[in-house]
Structure 1
Amino acid sequence: MTSRAMSPMQAAGRRMRLVPRAPTMAAQCTARRWVATSKPKPYAMSSTPPPPRSTTTTTTAARPAAAAARTPIPAVSGEPLPDAPPATLSPAAASSNSSSSSSSSSSSMGYEDAAATLSSENGAGSGGGAPIDWTRSYHGLGTLAFPPEAAAILQARLDPDDIEVKPDGIIYLPEIKYRRILNTAFGPGGWGLAPRGQLMVQDRMVTREYALVVHGRFVAQARGEQQYFSEDGVSTAAEGCKSNALMRCCKDLGIASELWDPRYIRKFMKEHATQVWVEHVTTKKKKQIWLRKDDEVRYPFKKS
């Protein structure tokens, strides 16, 4: 019985024959697998060239023929245009105009020119410069006199009918009439009161300092005062304090200067005032009060 066992030589020869086949079979399997999975997609091939892209056509309005025939503008030469010839007047008209203008403005031109120069030097004009702090500034104090027209209005004599008399015998000019005189002399808006400090509220009295400013110039300064009797009347007393300061500032301008003249006061009281006995309506107390001769006794008094 023959043995099926292979000899060493037969086994080695068989191994040599089988080794080359394994890579070939693996390559063939790999090739088949690659061909099966990466089959190219069919593409339509055409030999005709692609059609041209369609472009959108915009309809533009045709320019007029006149625009095409526009004449070019010449370059600027840089030379300024000549000034217009001045208007010529006849000798008679020129002399009359010069004489009338010189006579009408001779008294006021000096004040206007000096005021304009003062404001431009100190930056008080509208052209620029820092605003003036009227709480501390004395800008324009004593630099220039007012024109004669304004001075005549300020220093005019008082009409006796405008003067009032208090029951204690003190004569005064109502505050509104001070304002009317200032408006007549300088025009509405040409003057103003600038506070120089805070309102000081004391025991039953308020005080505050004010400056009178005319045409952008410091003119006068005074402290006004006014009594009050309850806390609700402080605001009203503050307005009365301002009016009192205005009256005192007007003394420097010569307004109602007669009211501080003792001789004028005695003469006025003798001619226009009288002293009468009256009785208080509530307390029934009698006393003497002063009033104008053309005035009547008012509440809370009655003539006894």
Structure 2
Amino acid sequence: MYQLRKAKPDELDRIVDFILPLQASAETRCLHLDWTRPGLSADIQDLDAPLNEAFWLACEGPELVGVLGLDQSLESGRGWLHGPFAREQDWETIVSMLFAAIWQALPAQITRVSNYLELANACGLDFHSRFGFVPKGVSHIYRAQNRPTQAPAGITSAEPTDFEALGALHQAAFPQSWLSGNELSAKIDLSHPLLVARHQGEPIGYIRLSRHVSLSEASVDFVAVAPSFQGQGLGRQLLEAGLDWIFANQRLETAFLNVSDDNTNALGLYQSAGFEPFQSGVALDWWRTLSPA
């Protein structure tokens, strides 16, 4: 008989120890989390929700047999799954119980829950499909290694006077993003810079980055250019400014980004800047209106 409970604040190492070997295999990997011990630990600690709110555990006596996490933003109405991770024996039963526990506690404000599973994670993809998740298509994680860079002139950090225009640009470019237009500016800090291109003093494009110092890496979260300024090389300038911040300013070793398989323009841009394919997965969404009865 399995017992379900929320994680305890001091169980980070236990959860990492359980997830790590499952993340090592493409057949059980969730791409919302890293696959190295330092990266996995950092990802879990970086979630907005604390450990004892984000993760549910399934136990058989003293043995941990399953883990599933959910980070959420009530402002955007979004949730993001981390897992599921379960032992092979009785996998379906354990995962079903974990999903039921999370959905029973899901706030009414959360109308969309997303996950991102490795292409080879057949059991996970099949379970999500039967639960009511809809695949958005294949996406790719691209990686670039440290290289010489030169920051383009005129691209600087966002100022408070830019925030309203940047929020509107972000909302138009990424209407279903995990980060809302308001959050784009509200969450600027030393590890999450927002670099801006301007025309006659007005923002016309931006790049948002996330730094992971303990891993010597950073991610390119968003790049957007106002429609009337697209096709003029501004996206490449913003990307180069971001890479200059990552490699020259912060002296990090690796940059990552995520891109949809059908976004051919972005794929060409990233490849021309030195990014190479690293991993591929399927993005999945559950919508409250599509919830099974």
TM-score, shorter chain, exceeding 0.5: no
Q: Which has the higher contact order (CA 8 A, sep 6+)?
A: 2
Q: Going by fraction, where is helix more abundant, 1 or 2?
A: 1
Larger radius of gyration: 1
Q: Which of the five TM-score ranges fits, normalised by the shorter chain?
A: under 0.3
Q: Going by fraction, where is strand more abundant, 1 or 2?
A: 2
Could you tell me the TM-score, scaled by structure 2's length? 0.21
